[in-house]
Structure 1
């Protein structure tokens, strides 16, 4: 196995883990929390946001673009290289940048909010879900492109 293959494989596994996290939040976690009352929603999201600050959660979110772009750069003379790099860039822009610029500031605002649970939730839930939807779609696209790269 050459270095490009190893980097692509690690990148794709991490990408699937990170993308699966966003997808799970979009399809299960947030709809479930959406059925709770305001204090339960706010307390649950605060607990989740604190719990996810750990390497097992963060590495599959932040490392896939590194591995995929690195693999792509090693094979830029081929369609495979361009596809790997593209998958990495799509995930970086659609998941990493959205997370850092959108979801994390909302998480921090939720954590520091001193308003009522209803007001806190209203300022958070719809925007956070929309941003997570972007991360979910970007993840699916990035995974599809990375898999395509491995098939060419």
Structure 2
């Protein structure tokens, strides 16, 4: 393997891990957090979601959230000319859709929730839309993970069977 191919493989692997972590966040919200909160009264629901929205804004989460996008973009550039680059491009497009959904829908809903005083009105405004768009984010980020895994497998096969492979 050349140094370039090692860095290419590292970036693709890191993109896959970061994407998996973010897909997992959206998945756990869809499967556990939001259904559990749905059982709560309006005051508890609004308070817990406000707390989650506060604590999720931390460097570890942002590393994965932005890292998945940036690492996938870098990987797509590094793999230009490779036949399996389309898997990475598809992953990038899918995650970009989820990223834009977060920025355009979920974050504004979070901000609205933070600024509303009446928990019943806040929940009515927030819950249904946020949950639906989170499912979209979970779906597209899961597609992105699958595409990156496929690219990683194909990259690994190409490295093993290439003349420079070990």
Query: Same fold by TM (over 0.5)?
Result: yes
Structure 2: segments with no counterpart, 5+ residues? 155-166
The TM-score, its normalising length taken from structure 2, stands at 0.87
Q: Deviations over 1:81-134 (max 9, x none)?
A: 2211221221122x21111110000000000012x2111100000000011000
Partner of residue 151, structure 2: 149
d(CA) in 2 for partners of 1:122, 1:49: 17
For residues 9-52 of structure 1, what are the alpha-carbon distances to aligned partners after superposition, in whole Å with 9 as ceiling and x for unaligned? 11111101111000000000000001000000000001110011
Equivalent runs, 1:70-149 vs 2, <5 Å: 70-93=74-97, 95-114=98-117, 116-149=118-151
Gaps of 5+ in 1: none
Equivalent pairs counted in the alignment come to 150
- Based on CA coordinates, which of the two structures has the bigger radius of gyration? 2
Partner of 1:5: 9
Runs of 4 or more above 2 Å deviation:
none
In the aligned structure 1, how far is the partner of 2:83 from the partner of 2:132?
33
1:21 aligns with 2:25: yes
Aligned to 2:161: none
